[in-house]
């Protein structure tokens, strides 16, 4: 488990370091801030940032740099002063490493990924999936399900699989979107085809470690959870919600929801010790299920509640106390909405944002809507209080923000931007 983030900015580092010396157990090692996978350190869009400005100037938070990037919705990873993401140019996809301080390109790895004849290209065919950093490697998956393992320092290709060719993986119509996840020495991802629902590969060689039984494709990213003493890889593929043994791919439990819930794209949220939250748009709504282990060791899952009001399309959900908070809506208007995790009852809904993604940091929410509007807010069971607003992006912004320390990284279909959210930078 990662520890709380440390603000490593020069101005605040000495003080924070001193505090950490006092607070961190002697056996722990201080980790530098990083965002190495979809959803951040714990894959739940919670950042350990501290020292965020309580409000922003009217002109918005201080911009550190801005540069052109290109089409794509892959989120931005950050580690050791480098950013990693992906974009598309014509028929080629590119993984790029960028200097987090300056925005300068450090390396690019580009490869041919023409649209498949049966793809619906009207929403940008990707890349949608967010890369994954493990050790010295960067794993990327493009819109046409080409899985690459790169040397994160140089961009050198270490191994590659065209998963449509090799495993009959699905591009899910509008381009593959689920982000891969690491487990031990494996990289695991949905493939959703006739040969397998989920596949695991050895990180070092790219060899197939296991293939699950076939499951229909889906756009939701998998998560890992520990339930009743076992690790579960939780996937949402079409109408199936399933927990797999991440070592073998064996399905531990499986629950089929109704057809309207089949187009799930948002990432599940684990609610320890044994519940999982799912949300989908298109009439699906939100579900909480409970996973139980019988005396014979077998697992089962049951629906705890279902409510159609919170319907998250391709955004995400954060859990704050007893609330699940997300942007509810698909093609039409979107409301920021909170439901109670205990029973699905609506706590509040608030207009004023287009469809949005969000993250939770330092007790606050950072909300980015698809029109490029950024907000700092607090949430409680009574409602959402917007503290500050800005508009740092102009094009369609479907990518969830990345917060590392007090630096926020955003992108839309054209640009990538670094903003300083610190109190010192926005006084």
Partner 1 sequence: MTQPSAPVGTLACLVVAIAGAAAGVAADAPPRAESGQTLIVPDAHLDAGEVYHVMSGEDAQLVCVSDAPLQRLVAVNRRVVGYVVVPFDRKESDPPLVAGAFRIPAAAFETGVSALDDLLRGAALLDSASHPEITCRLAEVKSFERDGADGPARWTLGAAAWLEVKGRSLRKEVVASVTFRPFTWQTMGRYPGELLTVRATIELTLEELGLGKPGPPWAERLADRLRCEVFLLCNTVPQDKTLDPASPQAEFSRRLRIIMLLRDLDQPREGLVLARRYLRDYAESAPALNRLATDLLTADGLRPRGLDVALEAAKRAARLTEEKDAAILDTLAQAHFARGSPAEAVAWLRKAVERAQGQPRLFEELTGRLKSYERFVEPQAEPPPGIER
What is the rounded distance in angstroms from the CA atom of residue 86 to the CA atom of residue 179?
12
309 binds partner 1 (CB under 8 A): yes
Q: Rounded to the nearest whole angstrom, what is the least distance from the CB of residue 350 to partner 1 in the complex?
A: 5
173 binds partner 1 (CB under 8 A): no
65 binds partner 1 (CB under 8 A): no
Span interacting with partner 1, options 28-36, 117-125, 176-184, 419-427, rule CB under 8 A: 117-125
Interactions with partner 1, residue window 266-285 (CB under 8 A):
282-283
Span interacting with partner 1, options 19-27, 31-39, 245-253, 331-339, rule CB under 8 A: 331-339
333 binds partner 1 (CB under 8 A): yes
Q: Rounded to the nearest whole angstrom, what is the least distance from the CB of residue 127 to partner 1 in the complex?
A: 14
93 binds partner 1 (CB under 8 A): no
* Run of H or E including 401: none
List the one residue from 371, 387, 389, 423 that touches partner 1 (CB under 8 A): 371
Q: What is the CA radius of gyration of the chain?
A: 20
> Of 134 and 281, which CB lies nearer to partner 1 in the complex structure?
281
Contact 241, 255 (CB under 8 A): yes
List the one residue from 62, 216, 290, 349 that touches partner 1 (CB under 8 A): 349
229 binds partner 1 (CB under 8 A): no
* Residue 160 C-beta-side C-alpha neighbours within 13 Å: 18
> Of 70 and 425, which CB lies nearer to partner 1 in the complex structure?
70
DSSP 55: S
71 binds partner 1 (CB under 8 A): yes
Q: What angle do CA 394, 408, 419 make, to 5 degrees?
A: 65
Burial of 119 (0-12, 13-18, 19+ CB in 10 A): middle
Tokens linked to 56: 């922003």
351 binds partner 1 (CB under 8 A): yes
Q: 302 has which bridge partners? A: 290
List the one residue from 141, 398, 418, 420 that touches partner 1 (CB under 8 A): 398
Residues near 220 by beta carbon (within 8 Å), at least 6 away in sequence = 178, 190, 235, 236, 237, 264, 265, 266, 267, 268, 278
Interactions with partner 1, residue window 176-195 (CB under 8 A):
none
> Of 66 and 247, which CB lies nearer to partner 1 in the complex structure?
66
* Residue 83 C-beta-side C-alpha neighbours within 13 Å: 28
Q: Return the SS3 of 357.
A: strand
Burial of 111 (0-12, 13-18, 19+ CB in 10 A): middle
Q: Rounded to the nearest whole angstrom, what is the least distance from the CB of residue 332 to partner 1 in the complex?
A: 4
Span interacting with partner 1, options 77-85, 237-245, 291-299, 343-351, rule CB under 8 A: 343-351
Q: How big is the site for partner 1, counted in residues (CB under 8 A)? A: 28
Tell how strand 198-202 and strand 186-190 pair up.
antiparallel
| Residues contributing to the site for partner 1 (CB under 8 A) | 71, 117, 122-124, 259-260, 282-283, 309, 330-333, 346, 348-351, 371, 382-384, 394-396, 398, 413
């Amino acid at each position: 488990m990662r520890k709380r983030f440390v603000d490593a900015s020069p101005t605040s580092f000495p003080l924070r370091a001193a505090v950490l010396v006092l607070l961190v157990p002697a056996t722990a090692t201080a980790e530098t801030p990083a965002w190495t996978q979809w959803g951040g350190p714990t894959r739940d869009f919670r950042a350990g940032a501290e020292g965020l400005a309580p409000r922003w100037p009217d002109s918005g938070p201080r911009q550190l740099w801005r540069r052109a990037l290109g089409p794509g919705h892959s989120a931005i990873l950050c580690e050791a002063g480098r950013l990693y993401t992906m974009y598309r140019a014509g028929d080629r996809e590119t993984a790029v490493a960028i200097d987090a301080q300056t925005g300068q390109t450090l390396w690019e790895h580009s490869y041919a990924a023409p649209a498949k004849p049966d793809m619906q290209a009207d929403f940008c065919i990707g890349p949608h999936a967010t890369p994954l950093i493990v050790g010295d490697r960067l794993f990327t998956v493009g819109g046409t399900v080409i899985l690459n393992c790169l040397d994160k320092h140089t961009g050198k290709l270490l191994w590659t699989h065209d998963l449509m060719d090799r495993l009959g993986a699905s591009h899910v119509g509008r381009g593959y979107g689920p982000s891969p996840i690491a487990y031990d020495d494996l990289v695991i991802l949905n493939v959703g085809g006739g040969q397998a629902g989920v596949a695991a590969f050895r990180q070092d060689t790219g060899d197939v470690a296991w293939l699950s039984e076939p499951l229909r494709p889906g756009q939701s990213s998998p998560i890992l959870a520990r339930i009743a003493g076992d690790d579960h890889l939780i996937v949402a593929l079409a109408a199936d919600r399933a927990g797999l043994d991440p070592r073998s791919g064996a399905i531990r439990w499986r629950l089929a929801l109704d057809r309207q819930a089949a187009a799930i794209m948002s990432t599940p949220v684990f609610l320890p010790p044994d519940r999982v939250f799912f949300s989908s748009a298109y009439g699906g709504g939100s579900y909480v299920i409970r996973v139980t282990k019988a005396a014979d060791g077998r697992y089962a899952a049951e629906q705890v509640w279902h409510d159609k009001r919170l319907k998250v399309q391709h955004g995400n959900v954060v859990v704050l106390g007893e609330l699940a908070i997300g942007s509810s809506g698909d093609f039409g208007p979107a409301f920021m909405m909170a439901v109670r995790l205990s029973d699905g009852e609506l706590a509040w809904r608030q207009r004023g944002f287009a469809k949005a993604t969000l993250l939770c940091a330092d007790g606050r929410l950072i909300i980015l809507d698809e029109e490029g509007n950024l907000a700092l807010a607090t949430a409680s069971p009574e409602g959402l209080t917007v503290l500050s607003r800005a508009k740092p992006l102009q094009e369609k912004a479907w990518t969830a923000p990345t917060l590392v320390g007090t630096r926020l990284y955003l992108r839309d279909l054209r640009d990538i931007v670094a903003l300083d959210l610190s109190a010192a930078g926005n006084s």
